[in-house]
Amino acid sequence: MKICLVTTFPPSQGGLSEYGFHLARELQHNPFLKLTILADKISPSLPELDGFSVERCWSFDDPTSSIRLLRTLHRLKPDVVWFNLLFSTFGRNPLIAFSGLMTPALVRLSGLYTYVTLHHLMDTADLEDAGIRFARVYRMVGVLATRMLLLSNSVSVLMPGYREFLFDKYGGDNVHVRSHGVLAGEPEYPDFSRRGNPEHRILAFGKWGTYKRLELMLEAFEEIERVFPNARLVIAGGNHPNAAGYVESIKHKCEGLSRIEFTGYVPEESLSELFQGASMTVMPYSSSTGSSGVAHLACAYGVPIVCADLADFRQMATGEDLAVEFYQPGNARDLADCLIRLLENPEKQRECARQNFAAAERITMPSIVQKYVRHFELHQRIEALRYVTRFRRLPNWVPLKSFILRALTRNSLNWVQPSVLPRAAASRRNEQSSTER
């Protein structure tokens, strides 16, 4: 099966580039798939990651991106075109973003099977809080873009509430729910010996400056320091694309504060060291745009989570059985109290860590991608059976009709993807080992 994955992709740092990398890495493990990544162009040009077939054929904020993608897909002729999308994937300008989001529908009209993984909904996002100018224009364009995306063969969202919303408002009956998944093939059991020894490290991780801001966390940390002098606030990650210079401005304000550490961008290979040494992860957001990648990273390393009490996060925690401590959004005192209560209770920290690790083992990227691939295989089988059905309508006097029909039916119904079996077996071994622990 030939798959083209349309996504931002490292070394690009565009939205969802890390998620695109993990999808591609799992697809590469399947020897029966031929994967081509249709990625965003980056300037200056950097070496591509080893082991991936990447064609950088579209650009952020480029109104011709959809045309370039269509040309590339016409040349490659894949069996499946898989889009990994935010509403802002193709541009900040609402019209350019909309033109890019038309691409899945145009690809389907060209005769190719299109699948969209949509990470958030424009209808539920707080655009004003995210610092979006002309929010009404974005909202109107978002409604049109949502209708265009639903013209794809199939759409996946990451939370059940999103599927219900798309069905109720747009009548979307081709929408499925897939878990976000943890960005690790094999979650790492929490190393409790490194937590709180010799200091409690409170980790705030993300792309900062829009609805993810640090002022509330800094205010809360002043109170935490009075109770736990050995606490350290670790601020990891860089600026959001729409908030250039934000982290630098916060870092300037914190000069001379020895208990606050800024790590900057954290490469993939350093994530384990960062999260395993953290007593907890805090998400001091003022709003949300869907399922949180940071929360799933924390689960992959068995780290307790503290976050704002927002509807999306409540739904995420309930749906995936995550251990999350909530505080009142915008309330620094409540955030400080929530963190202090957790710091004062080592047994609660361990309980939350184990629960999140157990959740991570249920939603590993291999298992999530395997479900996508099975969906693609099912589509291929259905198309093959349709072909057989058309052949059966031929008159009986056609030479060798019965022989050819039996061969086509056998190939369509008995074909099995053997590459799924080793990955499934590996998942079962992981579950058994976690039970033994």
Mode of pairing for the β-strands spanning 305-308 and 324-327: parallel
CATH label of the domain that carries residue 294 = 3.40.50.2000
Q: Among 360, 384, 412, where does a domain finish? A: 360
If asked whether residues 23 and 168 sit together in one domain, one would say: yes
Note if the bond before 198 is cis, omega within 30 degrees: yes
pLDDT of residue 13: 79
Q: Among 344, 360, 376, where does a domain finish? A: 360
| Domain assignment present for 69 | yes
If asked whether residues 390 and 301 sit together in one domain, one would say: no
Q: By C-alpha distance, which of 253, 153, 264, 254 is closest to 208?
A: 264
Cα dihedral 112, 113, 115, 116, rounded to 10, equals: 30
pLDDT in tens, 146-197: 999 999 999 999 988 899 999 999 988 899 999 888 886 688 999 999 888 8
pLDDT of residue 424: 44
Collect contacts of 317-320 with beta carbons under 8 A, ≥24 apart: 319/159, 319/160, 320/179, 320/359, 320/362, 320/363
If asked whether residues 351 and 400 sit together in one domain, one would say: no
pLDDT of residue 134: 64
pLDDT of residue 386: 65
DSSP, collapsed to helix, strand or coil, labels residue 221 as: helix
Q: Hey, how many other C-beta atoms are within 10 angstroms of the C-beta on 45?
A: 9
Non-local (6+) Cβ contacts of 361 within 8 A are 187, 430, 431, 434
Mean pLDDT, the chain, whole residue set: 85
| Domain assignment present for 184 | no
| Domain assignment present for 74 | yes
Q: Exposed, middle or buried: residue 22 (CB in 10 Å: 0-12, 13-18, 19+)?
A: buried
Average pLDDT over residues 80-88: 92
pLDDT of residue 409: 58
If asked whether residues 251 and 300 sit together in one domain, one would say: yes
Provide the β-strand partners of residue 38: 6, 55
If asked whether residues 320 and 380 sit together in one domain, one would say: no
pLDDT of residue 399: 63
Average pLDDT over residues 113-129: 82
- pLDDT category at 432 given cuts 50, 70, 90 is very low
| Domain assignment present for 185 | no
If asked whether residues 67 and 91 sit together in one domain, one would say: yes
pLDDT of residue 344: 93
| Domain assignment present for 186 | no
pLDDT of residue 411: 56
Indicate whether 263 pLDDT > 60: yes
pLDDT in tens, 189-239: 999 998 888 899 999 998 888 888 899 999 999 999 999 998 999 999 888
Which range has the top average pLDDT, 140-144, 290-294, 350-354?
350-354
Residue-number span of the structural domain to which 85 is assigned: 2-177
Contact in structure between 52 and 24 (CB atoms under 8 Å): yes
pLDDT of residue 39: 94
Q: Among 303, 325, 360, where does a domain finish? A: 360
Q: Hey, how many other C-beta atoms are within 10 angstroms of the C-beta on 25?
A: 18
- pLDDT category at 295 given cuts 50, 70, 90 is very high
Q: For the chain, how long is the longest CA-to-CA vector?
A: 90
If asked whether residues 206 and 325 sit together in one domain, one would say: yes
CA 43 to chain centroid, in Å, comes to 24
DSSP, collapsed to helix, strand or coil, labels residue 426 as: helix
- pLDDT category at 426 given cuts 50, 70, 90 is very low
If asked whether residues 354 and 379 sit together in one domain, one would say: no
- Amino acid found at 93: N
If asked whether residues 371 and 356 sit together in one domain, one would say: no
Average pLDDT over residues 43-60: 89
pLDDT in tens, 237-261: 888 877 789 999 999 999 888 899 9
pLDDT of residue 122: 81
Non-local (6+) Cβ contacts of 236 within 8 A are 203, 204, 205, 206, 262, 263, 264, 266, 274
For the chain, percent of residues with pLDDT exceeding 70: 84
If asked whether residues 377 and 348 sit together in one domain, one would say: no
If asked whether residues 36 and 137 sit together in one domain, one would say: yes
Number of domains the chain is built from: 3
Spatial separation of the C-alpha atoms in residues 75 and 403, rounded to whole Å: 35
If asked whether residues 353 and 378 sit together in one domain, one would say: no
Indicate whether 55 pLDDT > 80: yes
Contact in structure between 101 and 143 (CB atoms under 8 Å): no
Q: Distances in Å between the alpha carbon of 56 and those of 20, 25, 59, 405?
A: 14, 17, 8, 42
